[in-house]
């Protein structure tokens, strides 16, 4: 088979203790038998490990932080495009998605394709909208409330039973057993990720996740459920196993059909002692454990690239059950000259 040559820009190339999904996304694309890819890493920090993983990333450019705004990002992408002629960009980080969604028309004019949720889809599934989202689409969600000031934690007993989960807008969460702990988490998380803070009823049980891909027309192109087997102190899965749970697949298809979700996503769920699943979060991008799906026979990154390019993609109907991923860390030896280049020139 003649492989299509393609250049793909990938963000989130930081496989650290709270890993970005970029490297597993790249591994999926590299595994494609249909595409011969040149991979352009798009990084935010000079020590993002992906910058130095030359067997996976052909060249890396630094991007301005999302807080710098969409205009700065567009300027930078225009420069990168003049050098690299990107066909597709896959943004993988929550904090940058708003800017990329906003820039989608301009990037398309430049020849860069993406497969992203619409701004409405992106906003609607926010943690602070989850209550309404659950009601609208008839999906069980834990009771939640958005708060803006630390003093508000003192009124929570009216609506919640401790423990509660205190969550940041984009990242971070803590389980609070009393108002004092809730206030501490409020201050810690809001200082890092801003407001609002989301208070969610704690659900005791086991964590399950689904990685999926929607085509924007209501079709689920891919979906693989996973049970976390080992969780780090940051709440990240360090090992997991693909499972055969029809309820989760039905929930996923229902979510995609109802929202006409476009792009990759992750559903985070908790199964309580009665066997009922609660949707805790919808991440509007591919998760870092996506390579498990590739290993199970559903190459989601490859399918996403094809969707971005407007190609017809047949939905995956099967996957291997009982496949596990086990993550590991690894020390690379890097010459200072490489660090110097990325730090001073912003590219390597």
Partner 1 sequence: MKINKNLAISENGFCLNPVTGESFSINPIGAEIIQLFKAGMTSEKVVKELCTSYNIDEATMERDLYDFVNVLKHHQLIQADEKN
Site of interaction with partner 1 (CB under 8 A): 206, 208, 226-227, 229, 240-245, 271, 275, 321-322
Q: How far is the CB of 324 from partner 1 (least distance, A)?
A: 9
| Alpha helices (H) in 14-138, listed in sequence order | 22-31, 70-84, 94-109, 119-124, 130-137
Considering beta carbons, is residue 145 or 228 the nearer one to partner 1? 228
Closest distance to partner 1 from the beta carbon of 321 (Å): 5
Nearest to residue 288, comparing CAs of 246, 236, 328? 236
Instruction: Name beta bridge partners: 201.
Output: 164
From CA 88, how far away is CA 42, in angstroms rounded? Answer: 12
Rounded Cα–Cα distance for residues 344 and 242 (Å): 43
Alpha-carbon gap, residue 253 to 28, rounded angstroms = 23
Is residue 46 within 8 Å of residue 98, measured between CB atoms? no
Kindly give, in sequence order, each residue whose CB lies less than 8 Å from that of residue 71, ignoring residues fewer than 6 positions away: none
CB of 322 to partner 1, least distance (A): 5
Q: Are 280 and 201 in contact (CB under 8 A)?
A: no
Tell me how far, at minimum, the Cβ of 295 lies from partner 1, in Å: 15
Radius of gyration of the chain (CA): 20
CB of 204 to partner 1, least distance (A): 16
Q: Which is nearer to partner 1, 176 or 267 (CB)?
A: 267
Residue with tokens 């659900």: 203
Whose Cβ is closer to partner 1: residue 159's or residue 244's? 244
Q: Rounded to the nearest whole angstrom, what is the least distance from the CB of residue 254 to partner 1 in the complex? A: 19
Between 61 and 319, CB nearer to partner 1: 319
Nearer to partner 1, 146 or 242 (CB): 242
Smallest gap from residue 309 Cβ to partner 1 (A): 34
Choose among 80, 93, 72, 78: nearest CA to 38: 80
Query: Do the bridges between strand 206-215 and strand 59-62 make them parallel or antiparallel, or are there none, so unpaired?
Result: unpaired
Please give the full DSSP string across 240-278, using - where no structure is assigned: EEE---HHHHHHHHHHHHHHT-EEEEEEEEEE-TTS-EE
For residues 66 and 69, give the distance between their C-alpha atoms in angstroms, rounded to a whole number: 6
Q: How many CB atoms lie within 10 A of CB 340?
A: 12
Q: Of 203, 127, 120, which is closest to residue 168 (Cα–Cα)?
A: 127
Q: Toward partner 1, which CB reaches closer, 126 or 271?
A: 271
Min CB(304)–partner 1 separation in Å: 25
> Of the two residues 208 and 265, which places its CB atom closer to partner 1 in the complex?
208
Q: Nearer Cβ to partner 1, position 105 or 275?
A: 275
């Amino acid at each position: 088979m003649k492989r299509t040559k393609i250049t793909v820009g990938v963000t989130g190339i930081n496989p650290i203790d709270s890993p970005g999904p970029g490297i597993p996304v790249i591994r999926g694309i590299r595994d494609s038998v249909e595409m011969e890819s040149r991979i352009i890493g798009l990084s935010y920090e000079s020590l993002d490990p992906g910058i130095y993983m030359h067997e996976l990333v052909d060249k890396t450019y630094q991007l301005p932080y999302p807080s710098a705004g969409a205009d700065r990002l567009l300027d930078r992408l225009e420069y990168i495009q003049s050098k690299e002629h990107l066909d597709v960009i896959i943004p993988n980080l929550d904090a940058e998605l708003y800017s990329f969604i906003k820039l989608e028309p301009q990037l398309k004019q430049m020849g860069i394709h993406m497969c992203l949720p619409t701004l409405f889809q992106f906003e609607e599934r926010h943690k602070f909208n989850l209550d309404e989202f659950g009601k609208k689409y008839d999906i069980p969600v834990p009771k939640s409330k958005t708060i803006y000031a630390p003093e508000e934690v003192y009124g929570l007993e009216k609506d919640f039973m401790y423990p509660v989960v205190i969550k940041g807008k984009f990242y971070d969460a803590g389980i609070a057993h009393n108002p004092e702990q809730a206030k501490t988490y409020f201050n810690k998380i809001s200082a890092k990720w801003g407001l609002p803070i989301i208070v969610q009823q704690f659900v005791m049980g086991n964590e399950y996740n689904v990685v999926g891909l929607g085509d924007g027309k209501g079709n689920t192109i891919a979906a693989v459920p996973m049970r976390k087997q080992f969780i780090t102190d940051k709440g990240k899965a360090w090992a997991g196993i693909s499972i055969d749970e029809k309820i989760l697949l039905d929930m996923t298809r229902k979510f995609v059909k109802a929202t006409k979700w476009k792009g990759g996503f992750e559903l985070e769920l908790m199964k309580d002692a009665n066997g009922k699943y609660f949707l805790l979060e919808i991440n509007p991008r591919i998760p870092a454990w996506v390579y498990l799906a590739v290993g199970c026979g559903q190459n989601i990154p490859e399918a996403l690239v094809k969707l971005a390019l407007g190609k017809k993609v047949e939905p995956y109907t099967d996957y291997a059950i009982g496949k596990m991923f086990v993550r590991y860390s690894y020390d690379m030896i890097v010459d200072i000259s490489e660090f110097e280049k990325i730090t001073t020139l912003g590219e390597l």
